[in-house]
Amino acid sequence: MGAGYEGRLFIDGEFREARSGNRYDVINPADESVVAAAADAGPEDVADAVTAARRVADETTWATDHAFRRHCLEQFHQALRKDVEELRTIVTSEAGVCTAVMGTHVDAMIEGMDFFNDLATSFPWERELGPYELLGMRSNRRVRYQPYGVVGAITPWNAPFMTAIWKIHHSLAAGNAVVLKSAPDTPLTAARMVQLIAEHTDIPAGAVNTISSADKAIAGDALTGDPRVDLYHFTGSPGVGERVQQRAAIGSRKVVLELGGKSANVLLPDADLDSSCAMGTFMCMATSGQGCALPTRMVVHESIYDDVVERLTANIGNMPWGDPTEPNNIVGPIIRAEQVDRMEGLVNRAKQAGAKVPVGGKRGDRDRGFWYEPTLVVDVDENAEIAQNEVFGPVLTVVRYEGDDDEAVRVANNSRYGLSAYVQSADEERAWAVAGRLNAGTVNINNSFYLSPDGPFGGWGISGVGVEHGVEGFAEYLRIKTIASPC
């Protein structure tokens, strides 16, 4: 297992190979070296994992012993804190995430666990409604919140620690058992997390199970086709999210979907251009542009358009990129060759349609690995392919608008996506007025960012169903029961 990384499946408290014995290589996108080998699960392995989770949900006190759950989750929290450097290394090795942004991907996510650890015991699991009379019967009513049982969690490759800790930790905090299927490219982070669970916590065997598979469809279809799973929690593309939702409809299982984005960053005429352009560049390029909520579509008023393009050209032209382990680099590798091919096609077709590319617009000049230079695409029509589709790479698209704030809102909302949005204005009241009209689950004004343990995060439109984080995100893992008894 290259570098000594654990790559086996974790099922019912034990690491094991896939029943087939098959493995596949996990590739470092920066240099195409083999990081480790991972077990290649088949449908039979997924079924084993669901069986283990089902047993915990149905036959143990995990769902009802809130104090014990909190104790276990605090053990997990401490283990992650002590292992943070190893986790950071794994995330960079398998996902290519730059060291410069690792604090957001790993450190902040670990520190934010306190919020959900506390909810394990502080959440109002029951509440009294008081008496009510109907049909001559006077009844006391009590509302009870209970976990769904078994959560089928599916995570993407772009943020393997961030998305895995959300789904594992939040599922467990609410009292569920979980089967987590990692993206084929990035199974090692979750394997390390459950290794810590096995070695340092009292979390019962079967409460957490992890699956890796070279073909995402094989294991994914096995998981979403298993009627014993009660809730699916998926982060990924809208297309796959729709398939998860369709398959979950059989048996009327619940879904929470955090899908893609083409987030508008609206620069009103009075925006501070220094901070707006600096922030807009960094936020778009962070994680090599491979983030669903990043501001990849800048909507700029005509009166400041030329000035903004000049600043963005300089910023992106000087954007440090390359080896993700170098602390100054912001843009690292792209996850795989197919992704580079896809973004190259999008940018080339944009140029053919009349857009201009002042900087970037080509593959990175490296002997090994998968690279695309930080790129600026300007003079883009609001309805153009590159303005309407998620690139998922270091590409900032700029759209000009004319007119007042109503027009800014219209152009920003001209998208099927609605995950996040950004507004830049020197007038905070004006910015709030625009923010309130944007069709997005989160909106960021000037130098602010929504991401926090207590702030709900979810998409509108094709960007998702339900929310993560906050009390609202915790409640997504719970179903509601009302019990009546005679007064």
pLDDT in tens, 23-39: 999 999 999 999 999 99
Tokens 């895995």 — which residue? 164
Q: Which residues contact 459 (CB under 8 A, 6 or more apart)?
A: 257, 258, 259, 261, 417, 418, 419, 440, 441, 465
In three-state secondary structure terms, 252 is: coil
Are 322 and 369 found together in one domain? yes
CB atoms inside a 10 Å sphere around CB 345: 11
Looking at 176-237, list the stretches that DSSP marks H as alpha helix, in order from N- to C-terminal side: 188-200, 216-224
The answer to whether residue 457 is domain-embedded is: no
- Whether 2 is in a domain gets the answer no
Distance CA 262, CA 260 (A): 7
Q: Give, for 102, the enclosing helix (H) or strand (E).
A: helix 102-102
pLDDT 10s digits, 296-347: 999 999 999 999 999 999 999 999 999 999 999 999 999 999 999 999 999 9
Examine residue 451 and state whether it is found in any structural domain, yes or no: no
> Quick one: 53 and 78 in the same domain?
yes
What would the pLDDT profile of 259-297 be if each residue is shown by its tens digit?
999 999 999 999 999 999 999 999 999 999 999 999 999
Average pLDDT, the chain: 97
Could you tell me if 152 and 218 lie in one domain?
yes
Same domain, 293 and 246: no
Q: Which two tokens stand for residue 25?
A: 């290589």
Calculate mean pLDDT across residues 468-483: 98
Q: Is residue 453 one of the residues assigned to a domain?
A: no
Mean per-residue pLDDT, 366-385? 97
CATH number of the domain bearing residue 67:
3.40.605.10
d(CA 90, CA 186): 9
Residue 456 included in any domain: no
pLDDT above 80 (res 1) = no
Give how many domains the chain has, as a whole number. Answer: 2
Instruction: Enumerate the active-site residues.
Output: 258
What one-character-per-residue DSSP string does 391-441 give? --SSEEEEEEE-SSHHHHHHHHT-SSEESEEEEE-S-HHHHHHHHTTS-SS
Each residue's pLDDT tens digit, 114-151: 999 999 999 999 999 999 999 999 999 999 999 999 99
Q: Output the pLDDT for position 100.
A: 95
355: confidence class by pLDDT, cuts 50, 70, 90: very high
We report the CATH number of the domain holding residue 318 as 3.40.309.10
**Tokens matching residue 437:** 């009209």
Pair 23, 37 in one domain: yes
* Structural domain contains residue 337: yes
Residues 6+ apart with CB under 8 A from 338: none
Is 278 part of a structural domain of the chain?
yes
Q: How far is CA 277 from CA 70, 226, 320, 424, 427, in A?
A: 43, 48, 16, 10, 17
Using the predicted structure, report yes or no on whether residue 2 has a pLDDT greater than 50.
Answer: no
Ranges of beta strands (E only) in 260-374 are 264-267, 297-301, 356-359
Q: Are residues 281 and 331 in the same domain?
A: yes
**Rounded-to-10 torsion of CA 433, 435, 436, 438:** 130
Which pLDDT band holds residue 354 (cuts at 50, 70, 90)? very high
pLDDT of residue 3: 58
Q: Please check whether residues 216 and 316 belong to one and the same domain.
A: no
CB atoms within 10 A of CB 278: 15
CA distance 309 to 300: 9
Tokens of 118: 């506390």
Of the pLDDT bands very low, low, confident and very high (cuts 50, 70, 90), residue 198 is: very high
Residues 255 and 280 in one domain: no
Task: Inform me whether the pLDDT recorded for 212 exceeds 90.
Answer: yes
Q: What is the pLDDT of residue 4?
A: 84
139, 132 contact by CB (below 8 A): yes
How would you classify residue 217: left for phi > 0, otherwise alpha for psi between -120 and 50, otherwise beta?
alpha
Q: Quick one: 428 and 301 in the same domain? A: yes
Residues 293 and 220 reside in one and the same domain: no
Average the pLDDT over 18-25 and give the result: 98
Same domain, 286 and 378: yes
Give residue 418's domain range. 264-445
Tokens of 274: 């220094």
Does residue 61 contact residue 72 with C-beta atoms inside 8 Å? no
* Residue 16, H or E segment: strand 14-16
Angle formed by the axes of helices 113-122 and 66-82, to 10°?
170
Cβ-Cβ contacts under 8 Å for 78 (sequence gap 6 or more): 200
User: CA-based diameter of the chain, in Å?
Assistant: 81
Cα-based distances in Å from 276 to 103, 284, 299, 301, 435: 22, 12, 12, 13, 16
Residues 218, 301, single domain; the answer is no
Within a domain: 4:
no
